[in-house]
Amino acid sequence: MRIGLDVMGGDFAPDAIIEGAVDSLQYLSDNEKLVLIGDEKSIFSKLKKMQIESSLFDIVHTSEIIEMAEHPAKAFSQKKDSSIAVGYAMLKNGAIEGFCSAGNTGAMLVGASYTVNVIPGVLRPALATLLPCIDNRNSVILDVGLNPDCKPEVLLQYGILGSIYAKYVLGKDKPTVGLINIGEEETKGTPAVKAAYEMMKEHPALNFVGNLEGNNLFRETMTDVIVCDGFVGNVILKQGEAFHHIYKSRNLKDSFFDRLDFENIGGTPIVGINANVVIGHGISKRKAIMNMVLQTRAVVHANLAQKIKEAI
């Protein structure tokens, strides 16, 4: 298995990316290879400084960089020798089986739709991420930012995509599915959420348990799969970050709050496209990058894209 890592993307690139890549090596087996995609001079010099054999990686040189603030579609189209464009090209021609980057999120999304494409039958791809639960589970929540407004049938499909993720990546049999809403009753919420509830409760592929309120999140009552539109999911995810930040600033010590750290998750897969792609937080440092690589590996191992293709 070969996993591509964009070395040039992220606020702390390339140094933190290479450090995270080195840290991830200890978890990779002999037949797993990490492909560092980026400026080879920077890569060799950093590895030398870290006294790491460069032969432990495959290295693919690229000469251009898509900056964090660049216009995604324009940058992706024009910078053919950027790490993101080259990564997607390699993914498309099978040179790598997974690709991850903490770089320009927009360009990563544009790259997905320009090269590997959406799986036929998938209405809207989603960004799926993990939320920690106090009972030590992790749940998958989607969407967390790609589609701020969702039609009911998109929410229904997120339930299906999320269930596949929970089954094959998190190893859960019959994962429970909840729909974020503002009350327990099925008459609550927006028209879209009410209609989604009706569809979800009758769908044979879903272990649907009903509405999930904000106070169920992170607790034993949290389902394995959490469905919401990308606006609500984004706010939930980032509010969790706010609490983790406050927790750290108050010098508290607790294993649950430690798990809230996004660095432990590493990245959010784009679910519903024809390839295994994981997007990291722009502010990712060494530890987050390592976990992004390992999460990409888990997604490739589960063969998530293929599993979705078979199910949809």
Among 96, 237, 273, 308, binds a second copy (CB under 8 A): 237
Q: Where are the alpha helices (DSSP H) in 102-226?
A: 105-111, 152-168, 191-202
Q: Is 312 in the site for a second copy (CB under 8 A)?
A: no
Q: Find the part of the chain contacting a second copy (CB under 8 A) among 49-57, 59-67, 240-248, 265-273.
A: 240-248
- Indicate the pairing of strand 126-132 with strand 58-61: unpaired
Residues from 195 through 214 that contact a second copy (CB under 8 A): 213-214
Q: Which two tokens stand for residue 158?
A: 């997120």
β-strands 268-271, 126-132 pairing: antiparallel
8-state DSSP, 144: S
- For a second copy, the closer CB: 78 or 190: 190
Contacts of 284 (CB under 8 A, 6+ apart): 10, 11, 12, 16, 17, 20, 102, 263, 266, 267, 292
- The stretch among 13-21, 118-126, 159-167, 224-232 that binds a second copy (CB under 8 A) is 224-232
Q: Does the protein bind a second copy through residue 223 (CB under 8 A)?
A: no
Query: Does the protein bind a second copy through residue 231 (CB under 8 A)?
Result: yes
Give the footprint of a second copy on residues 94-133 (CB under 8 A): none
Name which of 226, 152, 225 is nearest 189 in CA terms: 152
Collapsing DSSP states into helix, strand and coil, what is residue 99? strand
| Total interface residues for a second copy by CB under 8 A | 39
297 and 290 Cβ atoms separated by less than 8 Å: no
Nearer to a second copy, 117 or 264 (CB): 264
Among 209, 235, 311, 312, binds a second copy (CB under 8 A): 235
**Under rule CB under 8 A, residue 283 binds a second copy:** no
Nearer to a second copy, 191 or 204 (CB): 191
Candidate ranges 24-32, 112-120, 163-171, 189-197; the one touching a second copy (CB under 8 A): 189-197
Name the phi and psi angles at 190, rounded to 5.
Answer: -75, 160
User: What is the Cα–Cα distance from 230 to 304, expressed in whole angstroms?
Assistant: 21
* Site residues (vs a second copy, CB under 8 A): 134, 145, 148-149, 180, 182, 188-191, 193, 213-219, 230-232, 234-243, 245-246, 249-250, 252, 254, 256-257
